[in-house]
Chain A
C-alpha cells in the first residue's frame, strides 16, 4: 500500500498496523469490514481541506495512540455497569460500557425488544438486516472506520402500534485505564404508529482521553413518534464523533434535542431524511462550552417529499477560548413542494476569545416552499442586566439567569418534566462553574462509591 497522504497522524499509523496484525482474521469473516478499511486508507482522517471539517482541527486528537477496541476485548466490560437515575423517572435501560452492551436482549410482553445490537444480529437477523446500514450515510473517513471496527451498541425495536410505557435510556459510558478508541453502532426501529422516548447519554467516568466514533440509525415508520434527548457531558480530553441518522416515513414526528455541557471535542452530525409526506422533524440543541472545549454541530435536514415541516433551533454559550461551528443544512428536493423548513442558531459570547462559525446552507429545488434561517451572535442584554441588578440581583447571578434563559428555549422542548428540571439544574450548576463530568450528571450515580476511588476524579 502506497502512502500518499502527507498529513499522516500517529493514530492513523497505529490503525493500519493494528488492522494488519490483529484484525485480519476477523475481517476475513466479515469482508465488508476489509472493504471499509480499504476505503479509510484511501480517504484517511478528514483534514481541514474538507469543507465539513474546515474549522475543526483534529491534530491533537489524532497524534496519539489509543487502545483500539477489538472483538476479544469483552474484558473491557469487567468495569461495573454504569447506571444513572433521574429522580422521578423510571426507564428501560441499555448500559453500554467501553463500547459493549452490559446486557443481552430483553423482550417485553408487548414484543418490544431492546439490548445489545450484537445479540440482536444473532437472535433477529432478518429484522436487523432489514434496517442495518440502510440509512447510514458515508460522510468521511470516520464513517469507514465505524464500518470497520464497530462491535456492539444498542438495539431497540418497537413493534407497530406500541407506545413504549417508559422512556428508554441508552447510557454510553467510557471508563478504562487506557485511552480508548471506541466504535459504537446503534440501531433503533420504530414500527408504524408506535411511540417512544429515548434518552441518550454520553458520559466519561474518568479523566482519560477517549476517541469515540459512533453511528446511530433511527428508522421511524409511518405515524410513529419519537422524542429523542441526547446529553453530552464528558471530560475535556475526550473527543466524540457522533453520527445520527433519522429516517422518517409518512406522518412521523420527531423531536430531537441535544444538550452538551462538557467535552473536549464534540462533533455531531445529525441527519434527518423526511421521506414520507406530512412528516415533521424538530431538531434542537443547547451547548455551554468553555476553556478549550469545542463543539461542532452539523445538522442536515433533507426534505425528499412534499408537505413536510422541519425546524432547527440551536443555542450556544461560549466562554474563555471555546469554539463552535454550527453548520445547518436544509435540502429540499424538486418534488418536495409545500415544504416548510426553518433554522435558527443563536450564540452568546461571554469572552472575546471564544470563536463562532455559523454556516447556513439552503439548497432548494422546489418552488413552493417556505424556508427561513437566522443566525446571531451577541452578548447578554445590558439593559436586562441592569434591570435585574436594580432589583438586588448580584451581577454574576443576573448573568447566570440571563444565560440560562437564553438556552431555556431549547430546554422547553423536553417534555418530561423531571428531566427538564434535572437539565435545568445541571445547566445552572454548569453556569456557576460547579458541574464537572459526572458531577451528578443526570445523576444520582449508583457507582459513585467506586468512582471515588478513581484517581484524579473530582466529585461534586
Chain B
C-alpha cells in the first residue's frame, strides 16, 4: 500500500453548475509513469488543476489521496512542498520576477517546510547549472523574467527545468510536448526520463503518441467526457493514434 503515490476515487468536479469530471478513478504507484490521452475539452487539465490545488472547482463527490493524505485539504503551496508538481499546459508569464528569484524563493520555501536552512547562493547556482544542463537550457533564459516573452517551446522547457529543480514525487505534465520542435521534444523527454526514479511517479497528459516513444509509459488512460474510459499499456496509445477517437466511441458503444 505504501508505494501508492496518488489515489483518486470516484472524483466528481463541478465548475459552476456544470459537471466536468464525472467519477474519475486513478491509482499511480511509485516508479510508474502514466499517460492520459483524450480529446479536447474532456477534462484532462481540470484533473491536473484539481490535483495541484487551483481554486474554483467544486468537489461534489470522491477523494484524492496523496501518499495516503487528503490532498484536497492542502493549500497549493503545501502540496508543492509535499512533492506535487504541475507542468502547466499554459505556463504563466510573470513580468518582473526573474527565474532565479522565483526558484530561489520556491526552493527555500520547500527547505523551510522540511526544516532545512536556506540554500546558499553558491549551492543554488551550482544546482541551477546542473539542472539547466538537464534540459539544455541556455543560461540567458534563466536571467529573464519567468516565461515573459518566451516562445511556446521555451515555456515548456522551463516547466521541466522547474521540475528538475524541485524534484517532485508526483509530476503531472500537462501537454508538455505541445509547442516543442522535434529536437526540443527529444531533449525535454530525455530530461524527464533522467528525473524518473523508483520513488517518484509521473503522469503525462498528451495528444500525441510520439512523446510516448520517448517517455515510455507503464499505463495509458483514455479520458472521454469527464471520465477515464479505457486503461491499457503502450499499445493503447498506438491504437488511438491509428484509429482516432471514433474508435474509442465504437469500443464504448460495444461495451
Contact = CB atoms under 8 A, between A and B. Distances in A.
B is bound to A: yes
Interface of A: 381, 383-384, 386-395, 397, 401-402, 404-406, 408-409
Contact of A390 (B76, B96, B110): B76
Given A392-B80, A401-B101, A401-B102, A387 B75 contact: no
A324 B76 CA distance: 34
B199 interface: no
A391 B96 contact: no
Interface in B2-37: none
Interface in B85-114: 85-86, 88, 91-97, 101-103, 105-107, 109-110, 113
B53 interface: yes
B52 interface: yes
Given A386-B76, A406-B96, A392 B86 contact: no
A387 B80 contact: no
Contacts of A393: 77, 102, 105-106, 109
Q: Which of B55, B81, B97 has the most CB of A within 10 A?
A: B97
Given A392-B77, A393-B77, A395-B75, A387 B94 contact: yes
Contact of B92 (A387, A405, A408, A409): A387
B92 A397 contact: no
B54 interface: yes
B166 A388 contact: no
Contacts of B77: 389-390, 392-395
Interface of B: 52-55, 75-77, 79-81, 85-86, 88, 91-97, 101-103, 105-107, 109-110, 113, 145-146, 162, 166
Contacts of A397: 105, 109
Contacts of B107: 392
A404 B109 CA distance: 18
30 contacts: A384-B93, A386-B76, A387-B92, A387-B94, A387-B146, A388-B94, A388-B97, A388-B106, A389-B76, A390-B53, A390-B76, A391-B103, A392-B77, A392-B81, A392-B106, A392-B109, A392-B166, A393-B105, A393-B109, A395-B75, A397-B105, A397-B109, A401-B102, A402-B94, A402-B96, A404-B96, A405-B94, A405-B97, A408-B96, A409-B96
Given A392-B166, A393-B109, A401-B101, 6 more contacts: A381-B94, A387-B91, A390-B86, A392-B107, A401-B102, A401-B105
A389 B80 contact: yes
Contact of B88 (A381, A387, A401): A387
A388 B105 CA distance: 10
A249 B231 CA distance: 76
